[in-house]
């Protein structure tokens, strides 16, 4: 809720400024100055780092996707696939000028294969696509020189998806 307010408050402020300007209370220069001030405030807003996105969105949903597929809960698997995809897209949005945003595109074909396996409710295709997805994660890490971060396919006895 606080994050939503932090995002919406500057826009409410902007609309109040525009409203005042339309009533003739501010001249154009003052309005531009206030808009610049708001843009500066927005540019200082919190942006999650790629590590935070990976640890808090990608890795948990990678694990949950696997668990859902192993249990043939295809509706949950599709939900987790979308959540996982959202993490990758956030990297492109928040870090568009960084190598991570360029490298993350390699995951999309694997995500498409996951979607097809889930849609077909095909456990064998799911297992194969999940292995490709996981290998692609590691290929991305290698390309970014973070290959010390190894993602694994969880086992039924060990519900971890990272090699420590």
Of 140, 162, 139, nearest to 150 by C-alpha is 162
pLDDT reading at 1 higher than 90: no
Angstrom CA distances, 154 to 112, 122, 124, stand at: 21, 19, 16
- C-alpha dist (Å) from residue 125 to 102, 103, 128: 28, 25, 5
Return the SS3 of 151: strand
pLDDT of residue 16 exceeding 90, the answer is no
Please check whether residue 52 is in contact with residue 91, taking contact to mean a CB–CB distance below 8 angstroms. Answer: no
Q: What is the pLDDT of residue 44?
A: 76
Q: What are phi and psi of 95, to 5 degrees?
A: -130, 40
Q: Give the pLDDT confidence of 58-86 residue by residue, as tens digits.
A: 999 999 999 999 999 999 999 999 999 99
Taking each helix axis from N to C terminus, what angle separates 108-120 and 74-94, rounded to the nearest 10 degrees?
160
Whether the model clears a pTM of 0.85, i.e. scores above it, the answer is no
């Amino acid at each position: 809720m606080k994050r939503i307010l932090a995002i919406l408050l500057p826009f409410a402020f902007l609309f109040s400024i525009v409203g005042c300007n339309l009533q003739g209370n501010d001249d154009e220069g003052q309005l531009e100055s206030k808009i610049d001030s708001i843009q500066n405030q927005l540019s200082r807003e919190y942006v999650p780092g790629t590590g935070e996105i990976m640890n808090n969105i990608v890795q948990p949903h990678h694990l949950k996707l696997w668990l859902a597929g192993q249990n043939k809960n295809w509706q949950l698997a599709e939900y987790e696939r979308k959540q996982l995809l959202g993490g990758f897209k956030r990297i492109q949005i928040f870090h568009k000028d960084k190598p991570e945003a360029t490298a993350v595109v390699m995951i999309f074909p694997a995500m498409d294969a996951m979607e097809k396996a889930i849609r077909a409710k095909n456990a064998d295709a799911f297992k194969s696509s999940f292995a490709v997805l996981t290998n692609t994660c590691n290929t991305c890490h290698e390309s970014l020189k973070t290959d010390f971060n190894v993602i694994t396919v969880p086992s039924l006895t060990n519900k971890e998806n990272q090699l420590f």
